[in-house]
């Protein structure tokens, strides 16, 4: 597949994306990542209106670093298709699944049971639900309906088993995840827990902290509540990087 420059012409038949004017892309070289905006270039990757959308800057950095043009990238929680758009820009073959398809290229499937051949993928990038932190769909199979009381962890163990099945040996798994704190309910270190679960099939490669740009972090009432309540607002996401044994 021929690469497309960010902001350049799109492939014939690809869905139109809103035009934007954003800062240029910059490869990240430390374990602390930041990004100037949710999207890059003159177009939008995925949808800015999708709840819990992954910053395309993060996906771009992972895909361009760990794959080559023409290789296959899987996103089992594809959402609005951000990974697919990044893969198209970089000349990779993007494959996306979700319980709810928001566009034709996203196939309907449960991340615990994917209709894809074993050892056929060169990179898995996932931004799974952070337990029941957000409401994603009405589908009862949705992992985003499970509390982090063991049920979420059991579901994600099955997802990681499936990632190990479809990923080629020595290729990369990237997990973008955030811990969860809910006032009155408690704190769940999902980053640490998924890190331990992934070690069943994968060797740790590195751990990246990605600065969160969430509007609530700047809202005075949220900051006041955190200060007075003695808790912390989530200021970063983990990007957990693993290599399949």
Contact 101, 150 (CB under 8 A): no
Q: Is 94 exposed, middle or buried (0-12, 13-18, 19+ CB in 10 A)?
A: buried
Residue 11 has pLDDT above 50, yes or no: no
Contact 64, 90 (CB under 8 A): yes
Please report the pLDDT score of residue 156 as a whole number: 98
Please report the pLDDT score of residue 28 as a whole number: 95
Q: Pick the closest to residue 148 from 110, 99, 189 (CA basis).
A: 189
Residue 234 has pLDDT above 60, yes or no: yes
Residue 15 has pLDDT above 70, yes or no: no
Query: Stretch 190-207: mean pLDDT, rounded?
Result: 98
d(CA 193, CA 190): 5
Please report the pLDDT score of residue 8 as a whole number: 41
Q: pLDDT per residue over 200-217, tens digit each?
A: 999 999 999 999 987 766
Please report the pLDDT score of residue 185 as a whole number: 84
Which position has the higher pLDDT, 7 or 166?
166
Residue 21 has pLDDT above 60, yes or no: no
Residue 88 has pLDDT above 60, yes or no: yes
Q: pLDDT per residue over 100-152, tens digit each?
A: 999 999 999 999 999 999 999 999 999 999 999 888 888 899 999 999 999 99
Residue 166 has pLDDT above 80, yes or no: yes
Domain spanning 32-244: CATH 3.40.50.150: yes
Longest dimension (CA), the chain: 54
pTM: 0.88
Residue 4 has pLDDT above 50, yes or no: no
d(CA 51, CA 102): 12
Please report the pLDDT score of residue 7 as a whole number: 42
Query: Stretch 43-53: mean pLDDT, rounded?
Result: 87
Please report the pLDDT score of residue 20 as a whole number: 52
Q: pLDDT per residue over 49-72, tens digit each?
A: 888 889 999 999 999 999 999 999
Contact 228, 53 (CB under 8 A): no
């Amino acid at each position: 597949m021929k690469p497309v420059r960010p902001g350049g012409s799109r492939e014939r038949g690809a869905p139109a994306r809103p035009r934007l004017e954003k800062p240029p892309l910059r490869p990240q070289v430390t374990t602390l990542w930041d990004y100037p905006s949710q999207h890059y270039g003159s177009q939008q990757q995925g949808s800015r209106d999708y709840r819990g959308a992954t910053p395309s800057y993060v996906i771009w950095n992972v895909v361009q670093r760990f794959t080559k043009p023409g290789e296959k990238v899987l996103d089992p929680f594809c959402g609005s298709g951000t990974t697919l758009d990044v893969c198209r820009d970089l000349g990779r073959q993007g494959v996306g699944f979700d319980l709810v398809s928001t566009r034709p290229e996203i196939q309907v499937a449960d991340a615990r049971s994917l209709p894809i051949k074993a050892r056929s993928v060169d990179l898995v990038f996932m931004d799974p639900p952070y337990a029941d932190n957000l409401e994603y769909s009405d589908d009862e199979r949705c992992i985003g309906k499970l509390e982090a009381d063991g049920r979420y962890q059991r579901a994600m163990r099955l997802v990681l088993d499936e990632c190990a099945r479809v990923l080629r040996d020595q290729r990369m798994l990237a997990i973008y995840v955030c811990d969860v704190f809910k006032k009155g309910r408690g704190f769940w270190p999902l980053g640490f827990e998924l890190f331990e679960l992934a070690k069943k099939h994968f060797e740790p490669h590195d751990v990246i902290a990605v600065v969160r740009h969430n509007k609530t972090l700047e809202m005075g009432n949220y900051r006041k509540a955190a200060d007075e309540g003695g808790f912390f607002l989530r200021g970063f996401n983990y990007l957990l990087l693993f290599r399949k044994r």
